[in-house]
Amino acid sequence: PYGEVYPAKGERKARVGLLLGCAQRVLRPSINQATIQVLQENGVEVVVAPEQACCGALNLHAGDKEGARALARKNLKAFREVDYVVTNAAGCGSGMKEYPLLFLGEPEEEEARALAAKVKDVALLLEEVGFAPPPPPKRPLRVAYHDACHLAHAQGVREAPRRLLRAAGLEVLEPREWELCCGSAGTYNLFQPEIAEALGRRKAENLEATGADLVATGNIGCLTQIQAYLDLPVLHTVELLALLYEGKDPLA
């Protein structure tokens, strides 16, 4: 169960609010737990506001703009008292960065702009506060990194997660066609399952062809989609880092 405040270890470098996500906390709660742990290890105090809501991105995918606004209004209130809002799902991060568009011409527009400016992907924040790498793995590990579209294309975050993984002593491998979608794309895999499956299989083949031991990515949708077509373990970047902080073998 989540408390409300998780203190930083050592000197506090920042105080952040963590967006838990709606699908993620059900499908893979370990990602949020790992995010809290890794942030604490790096001097970040984590606030988990119980009044937070879904970011609203899935409502927008389905054309429900008013529903998305209702959810976003809750988040405008929930994340007022933090330095940054940390997201660990690329789709959520992109959704919150679009709050100024969602509230364009509305009374909340200025507040939405202020909140959007505080939203940071967890990999980016870790770099900015000064990443303290975990102990290196006890055996060489080759990691294929998959770029989530909403992280690489929408937010322009590509190098930060790679630098974190290399700093942790991992060999990072690059798959062919990194820029192609895996087929998850919010709700796309639900509305266009045949095309989504073709994309998922193509992505899985490219990742497997790297010869990696496991795959890392920064989005729950991608992770779930790729895992359906790939025999290799697929972990969120922070899950992998958390295991290394604990001295555990990610392949065990």
- pLDDT of 140-180, one tens digit each? 999 999 999 988 898 898 999 999 999 999 999 999 999 99
Q: Are residues 143 and 123 part of one domain?
A: no
Are 154 and 199 in the same domain? yes
Q: Which residues pair with 208 in a beta bridge?
A: none
Q: How much is the average pLDDT of 74-98?
A: 94
Query: Where is the domain boundary, 127, 162, 196?
Result: 127
- Confidence at residue 19, expressed as pLDDT on a 0 to 100 scale: 96
Please state which of the ranges 51-60, 91-100, 109-118 shows the lowest mean pLDDT: 51-60
Residue 90 counted as domain residue:
yes
Task: Indicate the average pLDDT of the chain.
Answer: 93
CATH number of 88's domain: 3.40.50
Same domain, yes or no: 114 and 178 = no
**Per-residue pLDDT, 193:** 79
Query: Quick check: 45 and 7 in contact, CB under 8 A?
Result: yes
pLDDT for residue 81 is more than 70: yes
Beta pairing class for 44-47 and 5-6: antiparallel
Residue 2 has pLDDT above 70, yes or no: no
Q: Would you state the pLDDT for residue 187?
A: 72
Contact 77, 209 (CB under 8 A): no
Token digits of residue 228: 């359906």
Phi, psi angle pair for 84, to nearest 5°: -140, 160
Q: Could you say which of 127, 150, 182 is where a domain stops?
A: 127
* Residue whose tokens read 């679009």: 98
What's the domain count of the chain?
2
Q: Tell me what the mean pLDDT of segment 3-22 comes to.
A: 93
Same domain? For 25 and 41 the reply is yes
Same-domain pairing of 174 and 114: no
Cβ atoms of residues 126 and 156 within 8 Å? no
User: Residue 180: which CATH number?
Assistant: 3.40.50.1860
pLDDT value for 25:
85
pLDDT bucket at 119, cuts 50 / 70 / 90: very high
Label residue 156 left, alpha or beta by phi (over 0 means left) and psi (-120 to 50 means alpha): left
Burial-class residue 101 by CB neighbours within 10 Å (0-12, 13-18, 19+).
Answer: exposed
Last residue of a domain, one of 127, 145, 171: 127
Domain contains 252: no
> What pLDDT is attached to residue 62?
81
Q: Please check whether residue 189 lies inside any domain of the structure.
A: yes
Range of the domain at 24: 5-127
How many percent of the chain have pLDDT more than 70? 98
Residue with tokens 């000064």: 130
- Token pair of 48 as six digits: 């988990």
**20 in Cβ contact with 2 (< 8 Å):** yes
Provide the pLDDT confidence category of residue 114 given band limits of 50, 70 and 90: very high
Name the token pair of 154. 């929408």
Mean pLDDT, residues 32-37:
97
- In a 3-state reduction of DSSP, which class is residue 124? helix
pLDDT band at 1 (very low <50, low <70, confident <90, very high): very low
